[in-house]
Each structure stands twice: as structure tokens, then as C-alpha cells.
Amino acid sequence: MPNTASYRVVQWTTGNVGKSSVAAIAGNPTLELVGCYAWSDDKVGRDAGELAGIEPVGVTATNDVDALLALKPDVVVYNPMWIDVDELVRILEAGVNVVASASFITGRNLGDGRDKLADACQRGGSTLFGSGVSPGFAELLAIVAGTACDRIDKITIAESADTTLYDSPDTERPVGFGTAIDDPNLQPMAANGTAVFAEAVQLVADALAIELDEIKCVSEYAQTTEDLVMASWTIPAGHVAGVYASWQGIANGKTVIDINVRWKKGQTLDPDWQLDGDGWKITIDGRPTVNMQVGFLPPQDMIENAKTLEDFFVLGHIMTAMPPIHAIPAVVAAAPGIATYNDLPLPTPRGVVPTA
């Protein structure tokens, strides 16, 4: 029989991804929104539905962490842009499970912070899980694809995207966008800004049950030859408008895992990178070799109701929010600790088929 259990959920923040989480939770009969954390004072006291751009849901946003933890939710859906270790420790040691989209896959990049989180899980009997669309969902697809093979020589996940209309300088500058092409500090920026992909490489290696000798990042940059004017910022000529980062897992001197991203802006790049559409190409080189092309399109009702191109950007937020949310039943049932896709049963998309 299908599992129709309802899980009590507290939503943590209502930024772009958080708004999509609130809407998804409110519309899912297997989930009950019981609380909402507001990071900014101007959101405190407002209905979570209003903050998410949907009908009121009867849950008032608050910045009172103790009050939210006193609700004894089954899980917190944690959607800040970045992990706050101390904040998560407080939630986890209170016995509340967490599913996160905040640049967290295994936590290995956090150093001692990961140990603090793992210890908090043990003290509270709680579980922490992180995913998103990429990294996260993309690696799950690759792992599943690999189960068709009796030999795997290499797994490649290649993401490509024209991000000209993606207007988020706060998240794009750290990877190198807008930096002078001859800036001596440019070379390591892509590696530093995409470091969570190193955790994704380790996730795939763990799924393959192999020991890696090294995880390294190889990066490339392209400059715009003309000023590139966007909605909220401009990239001057001679500055980076294309970023490529390849995170590679090396074993026995060979690259066995390659998770790479190629992002570009505008049509005046040097070198002139050509993208074969947006999305991912997932290749499992082996016996057999498995090829997957993954893209994303809006449904017909969204196309009919959209007023501007910006109306379609919510698809990216939905795809980031949903992998953690769909993992909630498995995370709640899991043993205390930090869990990855390798520790959980395959997540299933419950409660999302319209009933009318």
C-alpha cells in the first residue's frame, strides 16, 4: 500500500528556492507546513504563503528559533544560499531532521564543521541530507544509469547553460564572472566558487565503492569582447563572461569521474564557446556505454500564463527545492547522522500528481 503519512515541516527562509519549497509543501497532501523561519525582519509576522506568492497558508513567519523547534517538526527544509554550521547544529541537536539545498552534498568541504554537524546529529538523534538539482539530482541520475553496466570505465556529467538572463551577480562573481581576464587572482576562482562539486565527485565515487587518489579542478575562462549589459550589472569588455570548471576524480592515474560545468553569457565570447543546448549530458563509459541527455521545459500552462521571460526562472528554483523535499520520508526514517543518496532508498515523487 502507498505511504500516505504526513510529515510536519518547518520551512527555513523564503528566498527564491524557499518560495518554491513553501508552495510545494503547501500543495502536497503528504506534508504539513507548521512553521516558517524568516531571516529578514521585514518578513517576520507575515503569512508564509504571502511571502511565497501564493494564497495564505495560516502559518506566520518568525525569527524565533526556539519557538520553531518547540513545534517538534519532523523536518526542516533548509534553503539558505549557504550553510550556517552553528544554526544547523542548533536544529539537529534539538532532534529535528534537516533536508538542505544550501551547497551541501557530503559536507566534506566544511572541515571541522562537518564533525560538528555529525556530532549534533548523534546528540539529537537526527539526520542531515543535502541535495539540489546540480549537484545532487544530476549525480543521482548518473548513479542510477550506472546500474545498467557490468563494467564502468568513467562517469561524466557535463552541464552547459547560457546564463545571460540569469541575473545573480552575488552568486556569479565568486566563480569568476566579471573579473578581468588578466587578473592574477582569477585562476582559482572557479575552483573556489564551485567547490561543492568536489563533494559530488566523492558521492559518485562512494556509489562506485572506489577509492580516489585525488579530486582536482581544471578551469578555463572566456572573456567578452564588448561590454555586456544585463539587468542589474555590466561585464566590461576584457572581463570574464564564460566559466568552465571540471571536477575530476582520479584513480590509478585515470580520470574515472568528471563532473563539469560550462556557463556563458552573451554572444561576444573569446574564445567563442558553442553550447549544444542547456542541460546535462550524462555518459557512463563502460559495458554498455549509457548516454543520457537531460533538459528542462516549462509545462503548457506556464507557457500560456507567462508574461515575461523572468516568469520561467522559477523552474530552476523548483528543481533545486524538490530533490530535498522528495527525500523527506527517507531522511525521517534514516539512522542519525549525515546521509547522502548512497545511504537512502530511492526517493519517490509522492503527493505531486494533481487530483483535480
- Confidence at residue 355, expressed as pLDDT on a 0 to 100 scale: 87
**CA angle at residue 133 from 191 to 98, to 5 degrees?**
95
pLDDT of residue 243: 98
198: number of CA atoms within 13 Å, CB side? 16
Collect the ranges in the chain with pLDDT lower than 70: 1-5
The cell numbers describing 96, all together, are: 529535528
DSSP code at position 30: T
pLDDT in tens, 209-243: 999 999 999 999 999 999 999 989 999 999 999 99
SS3 170: helix
d(C-alpha 141, C-alpha 259), whole Å:
13
pTM for this entry:
0.95
- Name, in order, each residue with C-beta under 8 angstroms of 209's C-beta and a sequence gap of 6 or more: none
Residue 3's pLDDT is what? Answer: 55
Burial, 209: exposed, middle or buried (Cβ in 10 Å; 0-12, 13-18, 19+)?
A: exposed
Q: In the CATH hierarchy, which fold is given to the domain comprising 7-131+318-343? A: Rossmann fold (3.40.50)
Q: What share of the chain is helix, strand, coil (3-state, %, to 5)?
A: 35, 30, 40
Tens digit of pLDDT for each residue in 283-303?
Answer: 999 999 999 999 999 999 999
- Amino acid of residue 75: V
Largest CA distance in the chain: 61
**What is the per-residue pLDDT for 1?**
44
Domain boundaries, the chain: 7-131+318-343, 149-295
In whole angstroms, how far apart are CA 182 and each of 82, 116, 178, 223, 239? 29, 40, 12, 10, 8
d(CA 267, CA 258): 27
